[in-house]
């Protein structure tokens, strides 16, 4: 699938690092380093603009290494980029660690996943089919 992209950043286009990679790294495109204090959040721009076909979304997800090692994650994970959005891709980062974290220009800050999605039509009813789980909520599928 070919996706139209405008790259106003100073970095190369996102690319898959391995044959089996689902995501492509997004890089910070900032003029000056940004320091996130503990529990602070900010939007980091990427300099990338994309045009997705209808039925396709882009998901902005955390980088597992950044989350595990530094406590930095994408606040609204996964962030959704809809097919009709034409603005610059921004990443909402949050520092969940107890130390300051500095984001440098070009740093890999998140990953971008391109995925198909479905649209549905609602069929309003009075009763839903019964299942073994029923209305059991959070934690209801564990061992009893």
The pLDDT value recorded for residue 144 is 55
Tokens of 86: 């034409």
- Summarize pLDDT for 61-81 with one digit per residue, the tens: 999 999 999 999 999 999 999
Overall size of the chain counted in residues: 144
Q: Does the pLDDT value for residue 108 go beyond 70?
A: yes
What's the predicted TM-score (pTM) here? 0.88
Q: Does the pLDDT value for residue 138 go beyond 80?
A: no
State whether the Cα torsion 137-139-143-144 is positive or negative. Answer: negative
Condensed to tens digits (0 to 9), the pLDDT of residues 47-64 reads: 999 999 999 999 999 999
User: pLDDT by residue (tens digit) across 2-48?
Assistant: 999 999 999 999 999 999 999 999 999 999 999 999 999 999 999 99
Q: Before 80, cis peptide (omega within 30)?
A: no
Task: Please give the domain boundaries of the chain with CATH numbers for all domains.
Answer: 4-116 (2.70.40.10)
């Amino acid at each position: 699938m070919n996706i139209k992209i405008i790259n106003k950043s100073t970095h190369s286009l996102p690319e898959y690092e391995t044959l089996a990679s689902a995501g492509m790294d997004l890089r910070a495109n900032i003029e000056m380093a940004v320091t996130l204090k503990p529990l602070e959040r900010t939007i980091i721009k990427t300099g990338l603009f994309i045009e997705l076909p209808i039925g396709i979304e882009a998901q902005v997800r955390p980088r597992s290494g950044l989350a595990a090692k530094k406590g930095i994650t994408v606040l609204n994970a996964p962030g959704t980029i809809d097919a009709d959005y034409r603005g610059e891709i921004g990443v909402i980062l949050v520092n969940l660690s107890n130390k300051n974290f500095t984001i440098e220009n070009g740093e890999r800050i998140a990953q971008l996943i391109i995925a198909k999605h479905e649209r549905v039509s609602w069929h309003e009813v009075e009763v839903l089919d019964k299942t073994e789980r029923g209305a059991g909520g959070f934690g209801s599928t564990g061992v009893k």
